[in-house]
Amino acid sequence: MIRKLTKQDHEQVLAFLSEEPSINLFIIGDLEVFGYSSEFQEIWAEFDELNNTIKAVLLRFHQSFIPYGKGEFDLEGFVSIMKRYKKPVLLSGKSDIVEKFEAFADLQLGKKQVTFFAECLTDEFLSTVDQSTTIKKATIEDVDQIIELRESIEEFPIRSDARDILVQSMESHTARTYFTVDHDVMTSCVSTTAETSMSAMIVGVCTRKEFRRQGLATAIMQNLFQDVLDEGKTLCLFYDNPEAGRIYKRLGFKDIGRWTMYRG
The predicted-structure confidence for 71-81, as pLDDT tens digits, reads as follows 899 999 999 99
Give pLDDT, residue 130. Answer: 63
Nearest one of 32, 76, 39 to 60, comparing CA atoms: 39
Give pLDDT, residue 172. Answer: 87
pLDDT mean for each 10 residues of the chain (264 residues): 96 93 89 90 94 95 92 94 86 95 90 92 78 86 94 80 89 93 93 88 91 89 92 91 86 92 84
Residue ranges of domains in the chain: 2-109, 120-263
Give pLDDT, residue 153. Answer: 86
The predicted-structure confidence for 213-249, as pLDDT tens digits, reads as follows 888 988 999 899 999 999 999 999 999 888 888 888 9
Residue 136 identity (one-letter amino acid):
K
Its CATH architecture, for the domain 120-263, is 3-Layer(aba) Sandwich (3.40)
On whether the pTM is more than 0.75, the answer is yes
